[in-house]
Structure 1
Amino acid sequence: MAGKGRLSEWVRRRTEGASGPARTAEPDLRRDPLVRAAATAGFPVAPAAHPANYGCSCERIGCPIPAVHPVSPAWQTQASTEDATLERWLRSDPLANFITATGVGHDVLDVPAEAGRLALERLIADGATLGPVAARDDRLLFFTATRGNPADEDEWWPCELDCHPETADEHPGIRWHSRGSYVLLPPSRLPSGGTVEWLPGHGPDLPLPDPLPVLDVLADACAQFAYEPERQPATWLR
């Protein structure tokens, strides 16, 4: 299928070419419309740090996760889709990255790029519902409907591991970002010098799929690359 081949090739070039040192940059003119589009889609957003002076724009000395964390520790309560709030943030810092808080209107299944490419090919070949998908260096981010607000609170799967980007190297498999977590939104700049990007034709305007069918395909793809599960699934995932 031609579309499948073009998308897979774009992802391969995108993730394999995302390297190099962080550098000072001019404002990305795509940022404001892309962040507005995410908010319009119902993704709560909040300002995040950005690369600066080969480090992080935050004031923390030796920031352990430079340019990939929210500006405020109160980001969960600040995250918003309101136009006035968003416009104020966009004007206040033209270089700021933006995050979206997960577990409210959407979740994100975050996998290594090589497994994500394989899963993409299978999902497209099967004609499965595929929602927004973003590429971030050597990871792919699959946006889905949320499981973060179940009717039975005992079914909630806390994703403490997924809340901490600094643990990614130690836990490289599937990371399910739900309540209490976040991901960077396109076109956020990364310390590597790359940017977060929506896959062609898979931006925030697409409907969000149920996470469980997508998770099944991602888990199978990760297993082929010997990525171990991070934890036993909660009972409501069985």
Structure 2
Amino acid sequence: MARTSRIPQWMQRRGRAQSAASAGAAAAAARAEMIASAARAGLPLAPAAHPEGYGCSCDRVGCPTPARHPVSFAWHSQASADAQRVEKWLASYPEANFVVATGITADVLDVPLRAGREALVRLEANGVAVGPVAADGARMLFFTTTRGTPEDEDEWWPCELDCRPETMAEHPGLRWHCRGSYVLLPPSRLPSGDTVSWQRGHELALPDPLTLLESLTDACAAYAGTQDAEDDARAAAGWY
């Protein structure tokens, strides 16, 4: 029986490996450009942890928020939209996720994904300028103008799990990210395999948060009493 040369097979494998490497380099370049473009849009960024295996790249045992927190405890003072600084971070932390520090140039209204989708349809149907919107598989993030740092500190509220202006009634499921908080920037990756993605790009103008608040809180209130909300809560707690 004539022997079949293995050279063509070897060349095919090498070609496939080179194609995969080329595709990986292109994906990395596209990711870096997406992050850099957010900085150019004025969003202050800081490096964050990234998925490592099924957990987090940080050295904290049993990290409660894997791949969802900044690398440094000084993230707020480090956060920057400076292009050269962001470029250095990308070179130093090629696998890193990034966070947007809120309360500087933008606040973020953060709602359950299903409630956010319903609100987004309603807002756009009513002709409301929504602005940038991101989603991470579980939550939807509506970027708005920031309340910033009021001169009267009594008029400032910190960001908590379900923070809100003190003059308003509680809004189920809503998180208002303002000064002292952050959100993940697309295209951050999560251990679940989900990726934070732009639903409406960051090039859009930031709306006043009050133009979105009523629709978002109505959608959150409707969502809060559903089986979907209970299922999502169990999934988040790792029940199934």
Give, in angstroms, the shift of residue 150 of structure 1.
2.4
TM score, norm. by length of structure 1: 0.77
Partner secondary structure for residue 68 of structure 1: coil
Gaps of 5+ in 1: 1-25, 164-170, 228-238
Task: Mark the CA change 1:34 to 1:46 in structure 2 (over 3 Å): closer, same or farther.
Answer: same
- Say which one has the larger Rg: 2
SS in 2 for 1:99: strand
Which amino acid is 1:207 matched to? Answer: A
For 1:132 and 1:161, locate their aligned partners in 2 and report how far apart those are by CA, in whole Å: 22
Corresponding residue number in structure 1 for 2:198: 198
Please state how far the C-alpha of 1:162 moved relative to its aligned partner.
6.0
- Partner residue in 2 for 1:224: 222
In structure 2, the partner of 1:208 is: 206
| Sequence identity percentage | 63
* Counterparts of 2:148 and 2:180, CA distance in 1: 9
Superimposed CA distance per residue, residues 72-123 of structure 1 (whole angstroms, 9 cap, x where no aligned partner)? 0000000001111111100012111000100000000000011101100111
Q: Distance in 2 between matches of 1:136 and 1:162?
A: 18
RMSD: 1.8
After the TM superposition, which of the residue ranges 33-42 and 144-153 deviates more from structure 2? 144-153
Gap regions ≥5 residues in structure 2: 1-23, 164-170, 226-240
SS of alignment partner, residue 225 of structure 1 = helix
In the alignment, what sits opposite 1:62?
A: 62
CA shift for structure 1 position 31: 1.9
Equivalent AA in structure 2 for residue 80 of structure 1: S
Contact 1:107 1:145 in 2 (8 A): yes
- The answer (yes or no) to whether the contact 1:112–1:172 under 8 Å persists in 2 is no
TM-score, normalised to structure 2, is 0.76
C-alpha distance after superposition, 1:203-234 (max 9, x if no partner): 1111000001111110011111236xxxxxxx
Q: Which residue pairs with 2:144 in the alignment? A: 144
**By percentage of residues, which structure has more helix?**
2
CA–CA distance in structure 2, aligned partners of residues 174 and 145 of structure 1: 17
Larger RCO (CA under 8 A, 6+ residues apart) = 1
Q: Give, as a single letter, the amino acid of the residue that structure 1 aligns with 2:196.
A: V
- Counterpart-to-counterpart distance in 1, 2:95 and 2:179: 27
